[in-house]
Structure 1
Amino acid sequence: MSDPQTSPAPRKDSLIVTRFGFVSIQLVLVAVALLSVGIAVSLGQVDVPLADSYRILLYKLSGIQIGDMSDILAGQHLNIIWNIRFPRVILALLIGAGLSLCGTVMQAAVQNPLADPYILGVSSGASLGATFSIMIGFGTMGFLGQTGVAFWAFAGAFGASMLVLALAGIGGKMSSVKLVLSGMVINALCTAFANFIIYFANNTEGIRSVTFWTMGSLAAAKWDRLPLVAIIVLAAALLFLFQSRILNTMLLGDETAVTLGINLNLYRRIYLLFTAVITGVMVASCGMIGFVGLIIPHLVRGIVGSDHRRLMPTSILIGGIFLVWTDVLARIAIPKVELPIGIITALIGAPMFMYMLIKKGYNFGGK
């Protein structure tokens, strides 16, 4: 009997993996991530020399000074780098990694290449919660250091996910088809309620706030907001990095899983519950950022294959790097104007997805 940990993955490894090796790819991605952080904190409406950015970060993180830094420490660059841009870049790394991780898990759990972190109605539930908070006036309520909007967005996302799981489990065993259909139903229902609130609220400023929030933005990144997101995303990454055997088995289907003695229905419920919580926290922190959880796993499959031992860590790293650079584009694309990051991810992600569909240069489930 084949090993479920390796059998779902394509037998023919990618040329990139064969030539450089998986470990080398991870080391290169880590180096690219570190370089991206330094460049990202240097770019913006006020350009900071790259060398100064690294010196400031090194000083704040370790207390080590390189050369005479009296002018740097007395100027505005220190505040720009450490209090404004660096928390934002770290949040971008975490959100990109988390969305890619959740997208990879969701695509395996529901056995659908079009699955993304929002398939359980998380986006529509979060939108309903945020709309309720902004338009009705509960935006001042706090929750674990987050704003009232973040609290209601998380509550809406988590509530919608629970409704989807409950609906998909009615009448027998949960299946991937029932999950997708239940997600569509709850998505339509939450969207209708959100539009109902907007229509009768008659609040122009609130409508603008809701619209900007639903497009996603990292502008609200602060040091006090990072711990919750960091703990959730890092804990989830640590968990799912050790779940490659189960995730690979999910790609083989329920019948194969029964033969191997694995209760996929139980694992599917647990994984979907975890991804709902993770995605809810991320959406509450920065709004809805589309295409990252959908595109990145497909892109990575074309590099390292479908085996989750390679797919999961590579998706986490590339997802973080991708969102860092899309946030840079959102900040500098138009002078003195910051675009919602969801616009940038859609403009980049949609053509990439069309290219992959035309080329068919990726594998899903080893097929």
Structure 2
Amino acid sequence: MFIRCTVGLGVALVASVVLAIGLGPAPVSPADTLRYLGAALTGGTIRLDEVATYEIVWQLRTPRVLLAAVVGAGLSAVGAGVQALVRNPLADPFVLGISSGAAVGAVSVLVTGALAVAGIYALSVGAFAGALVAAALVHVTARRRGPGGTSPLRLVLTGVAMAYAFQAAMALLIYLVPQGEATATVLYWTLGGFGAATWGSLPLVVVVVLAGITALRLRARDMDVLALGDETAASSGVDTARLRRELFVLTSVMTGAMVAVSGAIGFVGLIVPHLVRMVTGAVHARVLVLAPLVGAVLAVWVDLLSRTVVAPRELPLGVVTALVGVPVFVVLLRRRGYVFGGV
């Protein structure tokens, strides 16, 4: 069952990527899409009258669709990791205030002109720096001395409080420097989107997400034990304080890297792990294989909807994920055969 699901989702992801690259205001058939991708990857030739279409496929749509797949996979894996970290089934990659910190970083760069040396990547660098600062503040504030280290409840409460603080700081920046562009940036980092995807923005986030998923997968067994409670984990030889620190740092870096290139995209990291657990159970070794595949497929199709439903305009990605995620969440909540971590 697990192997069939993995293979099926892998095929679905490849098919979704090809279809999403071809679909849009200027539709391209799957056969032509594959031909253009093959020409780009192998240095093949295309006809002169196909250059414009080729540029749309390779330079505009392909990096965008690939970024959607990578971020969807990363958010789903981080969602599973954060839910294990705080032992809360309602946790998602942004519960610790990291996305709000990233938004402050992005808006600070915009209104002050800082990091100009980074050129077109200044906003992403500022967002990533803001995310790391937010993660550090949450960790330092929530940390307590003595055995057990930082408790899940303290971590969540601190993250929520810091998120409000960062939102207030962001509002103050916009108030002091009232610019229409600043307001648009706030909306972007709040609702997310892949419209700014370029080939240059892909390598770093791909490396961070793949390395992060691999690292989470290596700690899958410890995460299973952690879900049973600190006492059970300690009796099994798991250092819960150290594990939580590792998971916190890992999920924070992954979230910061993804928010830096796509903004804050909600519901993917919350819903996907639960959907996967319905099929494969709560074993993290399996969840962390299937959840990234499901998240990648979901993000690709959500992005396609956002750029085609009201074309040539784009719907904010957060609006589409909420429209999809809220009904799914309600159905899961009312489903008798599935329990949200005992809730």
Report TM bin, short chain. over 0.9
Query: Superposed, which structure 2 residues align to 1:9-88 within 5 Å?
Result: 21-63=1-43, 69-70=46-47, 74-88=50-64
Are positions 1:156 and 2:121 aligned together? no
- 1:139 and 1:214 mapped to 2: Cα distance? 21
Unaligned runs of 5+ in 2: none
Deviation at 1:146, TM superposition (A): 6.1
- 1:336 and 1:279 mapped to 2: Cα distance? 30
Deviation at 1:108, TM superposition (A): 0.6
CA contact (8 A) 1:101 1:237 kept: yes
Identity value in percent: 40
**1:127 counterpart (94, 100, 103):** 103
- 2:166 and 2:342 mapped to 1: Cα distance? 35
CA contact (8 A) 2:333 2:340 kept: no
Question: Counterpart of 2:266?
Answer: 290
**2:80 counterpart (104, 125, 130):** 104
Letter in 2 for 1:37: V
Question: Counterpart of 2:283?
Answer: 307
**1:237 counterpart (210, 213, 231):** 213
Letter in 2 for 1:70: R
Question: Counterpart of 1:270?
Answer: 246
Question: Counterpart of 2:181?
Answer: 205
- 1:196 and 1:314 mapped to 2: Cα distance? 41
Letter in 2 for 1:128: V
Distance 1:333 1:254, change over 3 A: same
Paired residues, number = 341
3-state DSSP class of the match of 1:76? helix
3-state DSSP class of the match of 1:190? helix
Are positions 1:168 and 2:145 aligned together? no
Deviations 1:89-119 (A, max 9, x none): 1101100000001000000111000111112
TM-score (normalizing by structure 2): 0.95
- 2:78 and 2:72 mapped to 1: Cα distance? 10
Distance 1:171 1:343, change over 3 A: same
CA contact (8 A) 1:301 1:311 kept: yes
CA contact (8 A) 1:103 1:115 kept: yes
Deviation at 1:129, TM superposition (A): 1.0
Deviations 1:310-339 (A, max 9, x none): 111100100011000000001101021112
Are positions 1:147 and 2:121 aligned together? yes
Query: Superposed, which structure 2 residues align to 1:347-362 within 5 Å?
Result: 347-362=323-338
Note the aligned Cα RMSD (angstroms).
Answer: 1.8
Are positions 1:334 and 2:310 aligned together? yes
Deviation at 1:237, TM superposition (A): 1.5
- 1:335 and 1:37 mapped to 2: Cα distance? 19
Question: Counterpart of 1:259?
Answer: 235
CA contact (8 A) 1:306 1:364 kept: no
